[in-house]
Structure 1
Amino acid sequence: MRAAEFRATSSSKPAARDLLATRAAAATASEEAAGAGLLNFGILVTATVLDPAREEDARAAIDSLSATARLRLRVLRGSQDSAFAGALPLGLVLPRHLKVPAEMRNYL
């Protein structure tokens, strides 16, 4: 909320986007104060291309769409098979299948 307020008050004529972000942040803060919880979640984005020459087009499309949706994506380096299985609609929760338990990951 502070970041949204700062952007809105940092110029003499704030952009409409900044004012909207301030209102949205205030609504979220109000809902959280009333008991609504904020939840972390993850999304796996996959793309399949038949022609290796089209891989860059797929990357550009995903980058563009993730920016529009305001998602920060990290590229997976290795274990693509596990990530693909996690993206299937099977109800698989990947953190439950990690070799390093959650309690230890918090200390790393």
Structure 2
Amino acid sequence: MAHCQNCDFKWSWGDMMQLSFKGKKECPNCHKNQYVSGKSGFLTTMLFTMPFVFLTSYLRTYQDAGWLTIVLVFLIYMPLISLLMPFFYRLSSTQKRFGKTVE
């Protein structure tokens, strides 16, 4: 699980889920705002999005799966991935978008 950049406090899974939905959250220990680091957010998104794209491509091409099957795979895959993503996030004390610090 991720650690605060200011005080090295280990965050809980629930705190990380709140952070992933809100975009920023105060550290429960030092009360400084923390953000998902840009690099870890991008890599985590790619890590979990690409297998879905390859799986659906495989199902459509080689298994002749219909759209109903693809939608069912999506409805199972996305909640599972949403539950796992907080384990892969890293925290940052500054919010950056496209490499630039946002105030």
Q: Please indicate, yes or no, whether the TM-score normalized by the shorter chain is above 0.5.
A: no
Greater fraction strand: 2
Using the size of structure 1 for normalisation, the TM-score is 0.28
Using the size of structure 2 for normalisation, the TM-score is 0.29
Indicate the structure (1 or 2) with the bigger Cα radius of gyration. Answer: 1
Tell which has more relative contact order, 1 or 2 (C-alpha 8 A, sep 6+). 2
